[in-house]
Structures are given as C-alpha cells and as structure tokens.
Structure 1
C-alpha cells in the first residue's frame, strides 16, 4: 500500500497562509527533493488554485530562479487529483473528484506507485479520521501571523493523533522542517 504524506508550510502560531511565506532556495530544494518519491498529488481546490497555473507558467517559461524552475518542473510533471465541488476543468495531468475525498484517496493508496503527497487544510481532518495520512512534513517559518487559516481548527479531530518525530532540518532562513510518522 502506498504512503500518503501531508506537507505544508506553517507559521509558529499555526497558520498556513502561503501568501505570507517567502520560501527561498533552500525550501524550494527541500520540497523538490521530497517530491522525488512522489508520483501523485492530492489537493483540495483552494491549494490547487493557489499553486496552478502559477507554477505551470514558471515551468513553461522558466521565469523563476533556478531553484524555482526546478521546483515548478517537478511539481507540474506529477499527476494530480483535485477535490472540488465547483471546478469544471483543470490543467493537463489533473483529474477532478467531486465527492468522497477519503474514499478516493483510499482507492489511490491501494494502487501501485510511489508516495502520494496530500495538501489540503480543509480535507485534513477527514483524511486523518479515515487513517489515510501516514506521515507529515511540517515546515515551520519563523513568523507569528495571528490570522488566517489554521492547520486544524479546534474540535476538528475526533481523537488525538500521536506522531513520532523522525527527522528535523534547520535551515539558514530560520525555518525548521519536521518529518513525523503516524504511530
């Protein structure tokens, strides 16, 4: 059975607004390397629309820095599933699922392949409750935001989820990447 990884950038106070982070070379390289073991991305609509078409344009036009271009090329080359009740169309190598995200992810998890990288704050409680997330990559940025979307809202989990820290990377930028496995 495939491993499902949840990866996200987060502020010290638990907010996940990607518009406030400035990842830089070392974080682009980190996420690009992480995707070497991934052959499917599982996004919610909000994350999908945040990432695309922006990174597709960077990959096509090579308009970013060298590390951004590598990240964009890797990200756009991977097949994607986006969960949305409202999207009617998506970029190539992307399939839209309109309902039952946990059921869909379970089916995908049972297929042969590399890891699946999931990234959707709105779907996270449902995916955790279904026991579908095997590992977490949380990159904590040295900023306190005080507003925005939290990783998990109070009461969004039915029971606590115990994790084991297996790796930590401290970046020159002050960001810290934590890699956890579900116990």
Structure 2
C-alpha cells in the first residue's frame, strides 16, 4: 500500500505562499529527489497553475542543475488536479478531476507503486479532514510573511502528530516529518 504524503512549504508564521519562500539549490535538489520517489502528485487549481512555471524551464533550462532537474522531474510525474473551474489540462501525465472522492483516493492508495504526494494547502486540509494523510512533510522557511493562506485552514478536528524526523537546510529551512497518531490504529 502506498502512503499519502502531504508535502508543502510554509513560512515561519504558518502561511503557504510559494512566492514568499525563496528556494536555494539545496532545497530544489531535495524536492527534485522527492519527485523521483513519488508516483503521483495531487494539486488544486491554484498550486497546479503556479507549478506550470516549471514547464518553461523544461523548454529553456536555467543551467542550474537542481532547478533544471526539478523541472524535468515535475514534467515527468503523473499529476491529478482537482478543480471545478479548469476546463482542461494539457501538461504531460495530468488528469483533471472535479471533486475529491474518498473511495477513489483509497483505491489509488491501494495500487502498487511509489507514494502519493499532496502539494496544495486546500487539498492537504481536505485530505486531513477525510483522514487520508499518512505523513506530513512540512518545510518551514525562516520568513515571516505577515499574511497569506494558512496551511491548516478549515481543519475540523484536533489531530495529534508524532515527529518522525527533521531535516535542516543551510538556508535555515527545516522539514518536519510527522505522522498522524491515529494512522497507527488502521
């Protein structure tokens, strides 16, 4: 059974804003490696459209190894986008879904293959509320944004987490790896 992993970046004050966080080469390399170990990544419309930027890097590489590798891995990975407003998607290996169907997600989890990553704040909250997240990988960056989209907006119930490990980057970012305590009771 594959794991469903919530993986995202946030500021020290708890906001998700990819434009507020500056990723260095070490951070890009971490996420390039992460994508190599992923089977599929799930996005909401807004994050998906932000990530489409990497298509331009595939077409016109930067010459920065980690960024170019991240772009190539992003291009290769299967993507599912949940949106009620997008009419279509045309990025390699991308499927459009209108609604989150818990049974479909559970079936996806049961398939063989590499883990499933959830990379949008709204989807992370929705999947948390549905009890679908097996692990959280939250990169906290040393930036105070002051405002933005909170990561765990609209969470319906308290969820206890167990710290599995941490990873520190030279830029000061720290990835916190947690699993829900209740996932051990499945």
> Is TM-score (shorter-chain normalized) higher than 0.5?
yes
The one of 163, 167, 175 equivalent to 2:165 is: 167
Query: Per-residue displacement from partner, 1:101-147 (whole Å, max 9, x unpaired)?
Result: 43432221122211001112122222112211111111111111111
2:150 counterpart SS class = coil
The aligned runs of 1:4-43 (5 Å cut-off) are: 4-43=4-43
Give yes or no for contact 2:79–2:94 (8 Å, CA) kept in 1. Answer: yes
1:10 counterpart SS class = strand
Distance 1:145 1:118 in 2: 23
Distance 1:14 1:182 in 2: 19
User: What is the match of residue 67 of structure 2?
Assistant: 68
2:122 counterpart SS class = coil
User: What is the match of residue 82 of structure 2?
Assistant: 83
Distance 2:36 2:156 in 1: 33
Deviation at 1:61, TM superposition (A): 2.0
Deviation at 1:159, TM superposition (A): 1.6
Cα distance change of structure 1 residues 100 and 169 upon mapping to structure 2, 3 Å threshold: closer
Distance 1:105 1:49 in 2: 22
User: What is the match of residue 137 of structure 1?
Assistant: 137
Query: Following TM superposition, where does structure 1 have runs of at least 4 consecutive aligned residues deviating by more than 6 angstroms?
Result: none
2:121 counterpart SS class = coil
Deviation at 1:64, TM superposition (A): 5.0
Unpaired runs of at least 5, structure 2: 182-186
Distance 1:79 1:39 in 2: 7
Q: Structure 1 residues 61-70 or 14-23, which shifts more?
A: 61-70
Give yes or no for contact 1:102–1:126 (8 Å, CA) kept in 2. Answer: no
2:19 counterpart SS class = helix
The reply on whether 1:116 has 2:116 as its aligned counterpart is yes
User: What is the match of residue 147 of structure 1?
Assistant: 147
Give yes or no for contact 1:2–1:113 (8 Å, CA) kept in 2. Answer: yes
Give yes or no for contact 1:83–1:101 (8 Å, CA) kept in 2. Answer: no
TM-score, normalised by the number of residues in structure 1: 0.92
Deviation at 1:59, TM superposition (A): 1.7
TM-score, normalised by the number of residues in structure 2: 0.91
Give yes or no for contact 2:2–2:116 (8 Å, CA) kept in 1. Answer: yes
1:63 counterpart SS class = coil
